[in-house]
């Protein structure tokens, strides 16, 4: 079974820069059959990720076409153990790299890399940044391992001589 994915729209919105209260993304997925023929099936998909509490919304939609025999296509449309059609996981895996780059660029939490882990996306607290010490105390703590000494040396006196031009005798035959 083969598939092709087309993204027709992508929308990202962020209300503010505060990420303190972020808990998870809630997801809404829809699939609608657009075309069905002997070669395969074409579905319109829409995936919306909404942060909880509401601050960020990621929405993408487009078309996915499945090619293959009826048995392979029906397996892709069948729900998995989480009651999610397999093709939804395939679509999500295809668009995840795009979502990741956009989230990192816009400095918003990135959704889970697997669709089944979206509801458990809890950010880890950021490590505390070390407090900067004044420069004076930092320089006192630095002890060189090897000392380097530079001594002033006198250069050789300048030689002021006129350039020597040698003449060459060239004879022509």
Secondary structure (3-state) at 128: coil
List per-residue pLDDT tens for the chain, 173 residues long.
899 999 999 999 988 877 677 888 899 999 999 999 888 999 999 999 998 888 899 999 999 999 998 899 999 999 988 888 999 999 999 999 999 999 999 888 889 888 766 653 333 333 444 444 444 444 444 444 444 444 444 554 555 555 555 555 555 55
29-34: long-range contacts at Cβ-Cβ below 8 A with a sequence spacing of 24 or more? 29/84, 29/88, 31/85, 31/87, 31/88, 34/63
β-bridge pairing 2-14 and 40-52: unpaired
Phi, psi of 131 (to 5 degrees): -80, 135
pLDDT given at position 54:
83
| pLDDT recorded at residue 96 | 94
Alpha-carbon distance of 103 to 106, in angstroms, equals 5
For 2-120, CATH number out of 3.30.1330.200, 3.40.1280.10, 3.30.540.10, 3.10.420.10 equals 3.10.420.10
Task: Give the pLDDT confidence score for residue 118 in this predicted structure.
Answer: 61
Could you state, in order of their start, the residue ranges of all structural domains in the chain?
2-120
Predicted confidence at residue 135, as pLDDT, reads 44
Q: Are 77 and 45 in contact (CB under 8 A)?
A: no
Q: For residue 44, which phi and psi values (nearest 5 degrees)?
A: -95, 130
Q: Are 113 and 125 in contact (CB under 8 A)?
A: no
Q: Is the dihedral of CA 153, 158, 163, 164 positive or negative?
A: negative
Phi, psi for 5 (deg, rounded to 5): -125, 130
Q: At what angle do helices 70-77 and 86-106 cross, to 10 degrees?
A: 50
């Amino acid at each position: 079974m083969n598939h092709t994915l087309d993204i027709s729209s992508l929308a990202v919105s962020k209300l503010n820069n505060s990420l303190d209260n972020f808990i998870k993304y809630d997801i809404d997925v829809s699939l609608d059959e657009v075309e069905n023929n002997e070669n395969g099936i074409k579905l319109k998909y829409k995936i919306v990720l909404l942060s909880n509490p509401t601050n960020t919304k990621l929405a993408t939609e487009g078309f996915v076409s499945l090619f293959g025999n009826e048995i392979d296509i029906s397996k892709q449309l069948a729900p998995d153990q989480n009651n999610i059609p397999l093709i939804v996981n395939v679509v999500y895996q295809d668009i995840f790299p795009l979502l990741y780059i956009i989230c990192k660029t816009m400095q918003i939490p990135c959704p889970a890399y697997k669709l089944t882990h979206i509801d458990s996306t809890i950010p880890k607290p950021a490590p505390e940044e070390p407090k900067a010490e004044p420069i004076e105390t930092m320089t006192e703590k630095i002890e060189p391992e090897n000392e380097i000494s530079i001594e002033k040396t006198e250069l050789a006196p300048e030689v002021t001589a006129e350039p020597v031009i040698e003449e060459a005798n060239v004879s022509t035959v």
